Amino acid sequence: MQKKRVVLNYPSHLTDQPVISRLIKNYDLEINILRGWITPREQGRLVLEITGKRPALEAGMNYLKEMGVETQPLAQDVRWHEDRCTHCSACISICPTKALDIDRKRMEVSFHKDRCIACEGCIPVCPYQAMEILF
């Protein structure tokens, strides 16, 4: 089984189609929707965690591409500006997935992209604007 966290960008003509439903039914994939929103121009954006067998995952991603849905890995869109981080740890109690974690001995903060679900909880709590989410 493989797991992928991706950001999907829907063109407006697809917002009335059951894209995700087909992805689940036809490709036997498990979908966990982390975030979703529709912009005023009716373009859609979804952040998904997709789990499935590797061939199915690849086929599913191809299906999305054919449908005209742009996909990109979530990790690309979340940035931890290490040079701005002071390791104060203000973000640590807010981050629900330990994507922002701290080594308690060194009291050093680190960011693990693979655990981030882009909930944006860290954005208002960081006093140094060290976290950036580019959606």
In the bound state with other proteins, the residue whose beta carbon lies nearer, of 34 and 94, is 94
Q: How far apart are CA 51 and CA 128, in angstroms?
A: 35
In the bound state with other proteins, the residue whose beta carbon lies nearer, of 14 and 91, is 91
Which of 122, 101, 118 is CA-nearest to residue 32? Answer: 118
As a 3-state breakdown, the chain gives helix, strand, coil percent values, each rounded to 5, of 25, 35, 40
In the bound state with other proteins, the residue whose beta carbon lies nearer, of 36 and 127, is 127
Place of tokens 């859609």: 44
Compute the least distance from the CB of residue 84 to other proteins, in Å: 8
In the bound state with other proteins, the residue whose beta carbon lies nearer, of 109 and 117, is 109
| Strand pairing category for 70-73 and 30-38 | unpaired
Compute the least distance from the CB of residue 134 to other proteins, in Å: 16
Compute the least distance from the CB of residue 119 to other proteins, in Å: 14
7 three-state secondary structure:
strand
**Two structure tokens written together for 26:** 């036809």
Compute the least distance from the CB of residue 10 to other proteins, in Å: 29
Which residues of this chain interact with other proteins, rule CB under 8 A? Answer: 86-94, 102, 104, 106-109, 124-125, 127-129
Amino acid at 106: R
